[in-house]
Structures are given as structure tokens and as C-alpha cells.
Chain A
Amino acid sequence: MGMTVVQKILARAARKPAVAVGDVVEPAVDLAMSHENAALVINQFQAIYEGTGLEPTLWDASRIAIVFDHRVPAESPKTATNQKKIRAFVGAKDIAKFHDIRGDCGGICHQILPENGYVRPGQVVVGTDSHTTSHGALGAFAFGIGATEMASVWALGYAVNVEVPATIKVNVTGVMPPMVGPKDLILHLVGTLGAAGATFRVLEFHGETIRQMSTSGRLTLCNMAVEAGATSGIVPADAETLRYLKDEAGVLEAVHPVVPDPDAAYERVVDVDVSALAPQIACPHTVDNVRPVGEVVGQHVDQIVIGSCTNGRLDDLAVAARILKGKKVAARTRMLVFPASGRIYQEALAAGYVADLMQAGAVVMNAGCGPCLGVHEGALGDGEVALSTTNRNFKGRMGNPTSDVYLCSPAVAAASALAGVITDPRQEGER
């Protein structure tokens, strides 16, 4: 019996000729990423060594990445002190893949890792962030873990007792209609599968639509695989992956795609035809509460958010700028834009997108997670409504449990910013 991509990756990483679903393996980790929660990882890492007489020793500092993004710049003395402690650890342990709060090389971890070429096809990537699933866009097996599990990886260099997951094949066909994109596809899929529909499973993306999709769009898909409960999403590496790594991530050495065997066994196959897909909205308070935009048009919006690891890349900002250029954000609506990295921010400046967005009334913030997780930069008032290109709308997600968060694509967010109510971007173009 053939193997899926993730089975092949795990077999290689566990030094076995083959693995079957349910096997328990201990895969060597190629890349281990943390953000500000490295403060807790450091604490747990040191706790492992207590009473052992052994010196706390990282298995391989070159395979550890730490990126500040959740609270940048620090919103409180407590965060600033956590960041200070992490900086000291990074310096003491010579962790080179460290991205501080900077305009040149800072940004959101799930953008920084791909754009710097840290993630390669066939790798095992773990991160102390549930959206680590993003990196499957480059053909890696990437999954989220907790801080204590990361401390264990830092010490051992492998993940302990991993069960080989079953894989759901998602076969996507058709050409997306105008104003419909990867975000609409993944919202539709999460709505179809349900919030726990892929728990302990991998979503492996196939089909002509995926082959034609940019790495940016694939990052959006894999990012939100976890919203269906999936361990990971993965797009088997192809010509587009090689192009992205060479042209956009500056990877000069040879890259070796890992693809599934033709007779790989999938738990099930989900077919999606996107040729008639409408823009999709995830309504409060679960990500699988998904409806076509037509069912929620007219809903007043107090705050629009464009950005995050899901939709803060250059193509996302381009869509928003194209819709907003020369027009104005509605008077009773505020609009916040968070580029996913300093590099993207600079590219958006050079392309004129930042000027277009600001002249329309948007506030363009620094690269980072922004208000997505309800920590700072853009809190919601009591009973207010946000429409956001981020990935979660749980009660209290943006910091106020009395607020409502709707999730959408950059096109829906930009069209809605103009009207001040949820708007179908396909109609906006005709106004």
C-alpha cells in the first residue's frame, strides 16, 4: 500500500522504510518555532533539567526559530519583560533564526518562516502556535504543539509518541469566479467539515485549482486547516513551491519535493468545485458557522480588520487597495490593516497600496498579529461588530466577550469598509 505525503515525511523523519496510520513514531524535527510563548518554553525547558545534574542543552540551535509577533511592540511591562528574557536566552544560546520587533526582518511567524526559506518540502515543522499548520503550504508536515512539548523537542530533537494521522484528500477543481479566492474556499471547507470534522486528521490538498494557486493562497488554506480540527494541512510540493522558494524566499540550494504515492490510502476524499463558489462569511461565534455572503449582507460593521497570518500578504493588500483606491471608508466604520511582515509592508509601500488604503481612511499598523487575539491594537467596544480577514471568531477572541466577529476574505472586507455594512464584493464592482 502506498503512502500519503505525511506518511512519507514521517517515515523519513523516524528512519523507517514505511509507516502506517496509527503507528507511533518519534520523528526528528527539522524546524521548531515559537513566538512570545518562548518565555514559557524556556521555563519548561529549564524545569526538565532540574535535579538531573545535566546542563540545559538545546539539541540544535540552528533548527529553532523565535519570532516576536503576538504583542508587538509590547503592550505592557509584563510582555516587554518576557521579550527581554527571551532575547537574553536567544543571545546566550546563539539562536540565529530570531526575528525581533523590526521593520526590516520582523513580522508574523507564519509569514517569516516561509519568506526566509526556513521551511522546505518534506520537513517536520513544529510550532507553539495552532496555526503552524500554515507551513504545509510548502509541502512540510507542520503542526501545533504546546509549550511543554516544545521544551521536550528543544531537549531531545524529536517529537515523542506521535501517532501517524489518517489523511483526508481534498480535491479542488474549477476556476474561482472574480472576487472569490482561497479564503472563501477554506471557509467553505471548514463549514462543510465542521469545527472538529478533521480532528487527528491531515487535509492533503489536490486538484487543478490548487496547482494553479499561488503559495500565498496555499498558506491561507493550510493556515485554517486547524479550524476544522486538522493536525495539519498540506499541499504536496510542485513547480509553484520551487518557484516560491527560489524567487521569493531566496533558497539557492536544490529542493526535493515529496509527493504521495499514486496508491496512497486516504480515509476519505472530499471534492470541491469552486466554479460557482460565492464569497463566504464565518458568523459568530464558531469558524464553522459559515454562510454565503448573500445571507448576511447589510450587517453593520464597526471595525474592519485586514491582515494576520491568514490574509496579510501582498496579494491580500493588493485586492483591498484596488477596491478602496480613490474611495472612502464609511464614516461610522474604522478600518485597520496589518501587513504580515515588514517585507510585505515595504512592498505594499512601493506598490502604492499603503497610500491607497490610507487615503481611503484605513489605518495601516505595524506588521504583527494585531487585534486577532484580543491583546492590543484595536479592541472592540461593548456590543460592537468586527469583520475580519483573520482566522477565529470565538466569543471574546478580539478581547471583548460582548462583541461579534465575522470572518471573510480581503475582497469582502474592503467592499464592506466602503459601505459600512457587510457587502458582496461582486456587487461593489458594479456600483
Chain B
Amino acid sequence: MSATTVVLVLGDDVSTDVIYPGRYMATVLPSETPQYAFADLGAFNAKLKEGAVPAGSAVVAGKNFGCGSSREQAVSALKGHELVVVAESFARIFLQNAINLGLRLVEAPGVTAAEGDELAIGPAEVVNVTSGRRCAVRPLPAARQAIIEAGGLIAYTRRRLLALAGTR
């Protein structure tokens, strides 16, 4: 189990336009995108930029987090702050981008929290230590486990290429 503090609570259908507004999409490098994480949520964005949000802090959201655009900046921006996203469910492309870049996602249908709550996140359940509520974790797609274990898709693809080169 890992302990974390909830720093932001959002509802259902949080789109990638909210996570990383389209007007910042010309910024592509993972080293530069974190400054625009939740850019339109001014107060939270300011806290992130001040370094006032510790690595490993949790964003808790409802269903279909990350819906909309395939923009990978929405993932690299959150990854840059080492946030953990705990949501009832995720949109497909966001989920796959997160696995590919190594952003930690926890799918926990029914999860609820308030800002400042303490969570204990384990492989099978999320415990809201503050409210006492427990919630089962739905495992990430089995098909993607190999990418998670490799540390992301760049490392995974590199390994595949080297294996191919070795057999030639």
C-alpha cells in the first residue's frame, strides 16, 4: 500500500482540454509540458508551478477521465509532476498514453474523496483513510502489462527492436 494525499477532486468526463488546453499543444516535449497541466484551473496550476504539490499526490475523478483528444501532452504534463490519477474509469486513448509514458493510474469504480483526504492505494483496493471508505481496484488491461513492466513503450519498443536486430 502507498499513502498519498488528495490534492484535486474532479467530476465525470474530465476532457484533455481541461487537463492540457489545446492552445498549448505546440509545446510537445515532456520536459516543457508540465507548466500547462490544468492550465485553466488557475489556482491548482499555480500550486503545481510553485512546487507546492508533492510528487505522488493524487487527483481523484469520476468516470471517463481523459476523454477527447489523443494529445499525449495531457499525460506528460501530469507525469512531470508525478501525480497519481485515481478515477472511476478512464477514456481509452488517455489510459493507453498513460501506460506508454508511465503515468500512474488507478481505476477504482465508486471512489470518492475530498481535497486533503489521505488515501492508501494497494494493488487490490483504494482505502480513503480519512472517510474510511474502501473501493476495489479494477486492474489495467492485461494486454498492456508487458509495457508497464518494461517501464513504458519507448523501452518496450527498444527491446523489441534489439531482439529483431539480434535475430538478423
Chain A interface residues toward B at CB < 8 A: 24, 36-37, 39-40, 43-44, 47-52, 54, 70-71, 76, 78-79, 82, 128-130, 132, 144-149, 151-152, 155-156, 160-163, 195-196, 199-200, 229, 231, 286, 288, 373-375, 392, 394-397, 399, 401
Contacts and interface: CB of A to CB of B under 8 A. Distances in A.
B5 interface: no
Contact of B68 (A162, A231, A394): A394
Given A130-B69, A156-B157, A148 B23 contact: no
Contacts of B67: 195-196, 229
B162 interface: yes
Contacts of A155: 157, 161
B160 interface: yes
B112 interface: no
Given A129-B70, A373-B69, A396-B21, A160 B160 contact: yes
B28 A37 contact: yes
B168 to A, nearest CB: 11
Interface residues of B, number: 48
Contacts of A47: 154
Interface of B: 12-13, 15, 17-18, 21-23, 25-29, 40, 63-64, 67-73, 75, 89, 91-93, 96-97, 100-101, 141-144, 146-147, 152-154, 156-158, 160-162, 165
Contacts of A48: 154, 157-158, 161
25 contacts: A24-B142, A40-B28, A40-B72, A48-B154, A48-B158, A49-B158, A52-B165, A78-B26, A78-B27, A145-B70, A145-B93, A146-B75, A147-B72, A148-B152, A148-B154, A151-B154, A152-B154, A152-B156, A162-B143, A163-B143, A196-B13, A199-B92, A374-B17, A374-B23, A399-B22
A229 B64 contact: yes
Contacts of A231: 92
B161 A37 contact: no
B25 A373 contact: yes
Contact of A286 (B13, B92, B162): B13
Contacts of B143: 24, 161-163
| A-B complex: 10 closest residue pairs judged by Cβ atoms | A146-B97, A394-B15, A196-B64, A40-B28, A373-B22, A152-B157, A146-B72, A401-B40, A24-B143, A161-B143
Contacts of A130: 68-70, 93
A238 to B, nearest CB: 28
A224 to B, nearest CB: 12
A161 B144 contact: yes
A276 B70 CA distance: 35
Contacts, number: 155
Given A82-B28, A199-B64, A375 B154 contact: no
Nearest to B65: A196
Contacts of B63: 196
B157 A395 contact: no
Nearest to B144: A161
A330 to B, nearest CB: 28
B92 A148 contact: no
A163 B165 CA distance: 26
B23 A375 contact: yes
A286 B17 CA distance: 12
A153 B22 CA distance: 25
Contacts of A52: 158, 161-162, 165
B71 A156 contact: no
A143 to B, nearest CB: 8
Nearest to A395: B18
A156 B17 contact: no
A267 B21 CA distance: 35
